[in-house]
A and B are shown apart, each in its own frame.
Chain A
Amino acid sequence: MLKTKDLGYWYQTANEPLFKNVNLEFETGQSYAILGHSGTGKTTFLSLIAGLDQPKAGEITLDDRSLKQIGLTAYRRHHVAIVFQAYNLFTYMSPLNNLMTAMAITNASHAGDTDYARQILRNLGIGEDQMTRNVQRLSGGQQQRVAIARTMACDAQLVVADEPTGNLDEDNTRAVIAQFQKIAHDQHKCVIIVTHEPDVAAQCDHQFRLENKQFKALDPA
């Protein structure tokens, strides 16, 4: 569904591109991991995929329509859901309201359906009393699960996550990755995760490594 065509990007201040001539394809129902050393441009690549920035060369197409054609705001609203390492949630709201707000803004098919939002949160192990207290009074792992719940509550077919397990312990990491797998396989969405940890990457259906300005597919171990 999502394709990059000769994609290239460089920052004005750098004299070399981070990556160029990138041709990748991502399908629904699959999960992808992107590995790579620090500073190679993983986050930058993800921001292009997420419609937060425009490529310097080439283009990205969603079902053969370029993101430019769709419009970045509309693309973010309807087609992509983002999970970051931090700053994911509305800090002045409860988990439940975070989900309800995201569903309202993205005009999701379940917008306004409180029971649906509660069900998703419950599935991710957020207790009834935790759903209605301020998100800041939740642990880092719980907050990350709320962010994942938000992507599940919305209709976006593409879910991108930048080091979603960066500040989580082993147990939480395993639980979060399991949820991403569920999103890919049960909800038939396309999940793209950037991570440092080979263990996390190994749990995804496909792995890429960003090296020497190119994405190399790694054979599943």
Chain B
Amino acid sequence: MNFIKRAGLNVWAKKGRSLLLILVSAAILMFVLAGLLIRSAAVKATNQAKADVGATLTLSANRQAAFKKMNQSSSSTTKRSRPKLTLTPVKLSDATKIAKLSHVGSYNVTSSTSVNAKSYDTVSTSTGMGSSGGGPGGMKSAASSGDTQINGVSATSLTSDFSNQQSKIVKGRGITSTDRNTNHVVIEKELASQNDLSVGDTLTVKETSGSKDTVKLKVVGIYRASSSSSSSAGPMSTDPSNTMYTSYTLANTVKGSKYANTADSVTFNVTAPSQVSSVKKSGKALINTSKYTLSTDDASYQMVKSSMASVESFANKIVWLVAIAGTIILALIVILMIRERRFEIGVLLSLGEARWKIVAQFLTEMIMVLVVALVIAGAGGKLVGNQLGAQLTKQTAQTTQVTQTQSGGQNGGQPGGQSAGGHGGPGSRTQSTQQAKLAITVSAVDLAELGGFGLAIMFLSIMLASGGILRLQPKKVLIE
């Protein structure tokens, strides 16, 4: 394999030229790698988004249908009499039917309401006063607003606030299914310390509607809310600390007897994320779809998916454009290089060297260049990829914001968006404002793929240029 030795001697002897080739190749490979990295990051982000949000189904009142009905009735009335939105609470019997479907794991029943503090003082912070938090809807229907938000759940661990670690139990325990039909409550740390309450203590609240009965609650746990979970606070709550978790049965009792065995919404965990749509389909067959909806909380997934799809196609274009342009550039360089080396080729031919071995020598030289260029590109491509990725996600974030303002506006435009006595499911609709972030990492697989691309580019450019070698007549070079 004398041609390998010759290639080595040549690359070493002509250091300046080799360096130039290395830099050009590294620049080309860097952009190919950046494209590859962004593409794989986009794929990863899409998959992650799918895993994050795709695996739950939510059974709730069909707002759209109810809203339509309300508009119809309001248009027939002349005066500005406040139209009434009637949302039918979800029946638990429907939920248990859906829960029996295959691929459905645990499910969480949520029923929310608000009460007024009686035996304790609510937490009020200056920051929360003005804007009344991010309370959805921000409407107060006079009869049903209290200063304490009650989130009735099947189990706190099943709520998104707790499962995504935004809220954490710090003392005692969370609400579980064993708390059904009890007066057990989990209160926020701030509220507990302000009123000197601890696990085992009791507190009393006053219902906001109907008989305005007093209800006695027993503290079984204390949790810490992160400030960002304020979105789940009721409209009147001035602070997320005024949110308590109970079993959904208690929330239903507070709401009134007609709410027994109902819920604001039920969230099902689908054990096989790939089965979500089929479960959704069979679940829909079990419910009255004019009153209820069974929805995938995949708005953010869809958003991530579509923005990542464009990122991915953009990355693909980068890869191919750069690869093609790189091949052309390198081929031109190699053609020039071979012209300059025709005497060397002539000497080789006069010694009786096979033409393919001469081509092989040039290819070997390029592969040696490639190896060094790969190392440089590996380091540089991450940088370029990060820059490009940041640029791309910035654009993505802008689109995300636009879509969110749109959907937000819609919510606000629904007067009485909260069911009578209820205040939007806690965490059932936590907007997972998950930003589609591109995690740019250079893996061995990426480098291998890049190496493949580099090899293909080198091979093609040598092949394009080797026509000259294969046609070269030694006599022409050496004698004329």
Contacts and interface: CB of A to CB of B under 8 A. Distances in A.
B17 to A, nearest CB: 10
Contacts of A90: 6, 9, 344, 347
Interface string A132-174: 0010000000000000000000000000001000000000000
A218 interface: no
B339 interface: no
Interface stretch (B350-358, B414-422, B449-457): B350-358
B350 A52 contact: yes
A53 interface: yes
Given A91-B344, A92-B13, A134-B13, A76 B349 contact: yes
- Residue among B347, B353, B354, B473 with most chain A CB within 10 A: B347
A177 interface: no
Contacts of A53: 473, 475
A153 to B, nearest CB: 11
Contact of B351 (A43, A44, A87, A102): A102
Contacts of A134: 13
A87 B478 contact: yes
A52 B6 CA distance: 23
B2 A73 contact: no
Contacts of B295: none
A130 B86 CA distance: 101
A77 B352 contact: yes
B351 A76 contact: yes
A105 B353 CA distance: 6
Given A52-B475, A92-B13, A101-B2, A73 B354 contact: yes
Contacts of B9: 90, 92-93, 97
A58 B191 CA distance: 113
Interface residues of B, number: 24
B353 A77 contact: yes
Contacts of B344: 90-92
Contacts of A87: 343, 346-347, 477-478
A134 B395 CA distance: 57
Interface string B342-382: 01101111111110000000000000000000000000000
A105 B475 contact: no
A50 interface: yes
B474 interface: yes
Nearest to B352: A77
Nearest to A162: B479
B13 A47 contact: no
A52 B352 contact: no
A185 interface: no
A88 to B, nearest CB: 7
B296 interface: no
Interface string A24-65: 000000000000000000011001001011000000000000
A200 to B, nearest CB: 19
A105 B348 contact: yes
B6 A84 contact: no
A162 B478 CA distance: 10
Nearest to B351: A105
B14 interface: yes
B214 interface: no
B478 A78 contact: no
A89 interface: yes
Interface-centre pick from B349, B350, B354, B479 (highest chain A CB count, 10 A): B350
A104 interface: yes
B361 to A, nearest CB: 11
Contacts of A88: 347
A104 B479 contact: no
B10 interface: yes
Contacts of B118: none
A75 interface: yes
Which of A43, A91, A97 has the most chain B CB atoms inside 10 A of its CB?
Answer: A91
A77 B351 contact: yes
Contacts of A210: none
A43 B480 CA distance: 9
Interface string A66-93: 0000000111111000101001111111
Contacts of B348: 105
Interface string B317-352: 000000000000000000000000001101111111
B350 A104 contact: no
Interface string B453-480: 0000000000000000000011101110
A106 interface: yes
A75 B343 CA distance: 20
Nearest to B350: A82
Contacts of B343: 87, 91
In the A-B complex, the 8 residue pairs with the smallest Cβ-Cβ separation, listed nearest first, are A77-B352, A76-B352, A92-B13, A104-B2, A52-B475, A87-B343, A53-B475, A105-B351
Given A52-B474, A77-B353, 14 more contacts: A43-B479, A47-B479, A52-B479, A77-B351, A82-B478, A87-B343, A90-B6, A92-B9, A92-B10, A92-B344, A97-B9, A101-B5, A101-B6, A162-B479
Interface of B: 2, 5-6, 9-10, 13-14, 343-344, 346-354, 473-475, 477-479
15 contacts: A47-B475, A47-B479, A52-B474, A52-B475, A73-B352, A75-B352, A76-B351, A78-B352, A87-B477, A90-B6, A91-B343, A91-B344, A92-B9, A93-B9, A105-B2
